[in-house]
Amino acid sequence: MPKSSIFKACRNCKALVLPDQDACPVCGGTSFTEEWEGMIIILNENSELMNLTGAKKPWRYAINIK
């Protein structure tokens, strides 16, 4: 099963959420795409990944969305 069929990605912040969620739990956005590539999982607030990716809180994020 392709990864992209498991989650959809928020177009605003790239957070990956389950297909049955209506609003992004990270930014509250309601625009999603199923066309995304790669996944980053940020586990804690102090992660260097948060600086690198610009993520607002620990979550799983797509690396690229189309």
**# residues near Zn ion by CB under 5 A:** 8
d(CA 45, CA 54): 12
- Smallest distance from the beta carbon of 23 to Zn ion, in angstroms? 8
Using CB under 5 A, which of 29, 33, 34, 58 touches Zn ion? Answer: 29
Q: Is residue 9 close enough to count as binding Zn ion by CB under 5 A?
A: no
- Residue 47 burial (CB count, 10 A): 15
Q: Are 19 and 11 in contact (CB under 8 A)?
A: no
Does position 58 bind Zn ion by CB under 5 A? no
Of 16, 24, 42, 65, the one binding Zn ion (CB under 5 A) is: 24
Q: Residue 49: which H helix or E strand, with range? A: helix 48-53
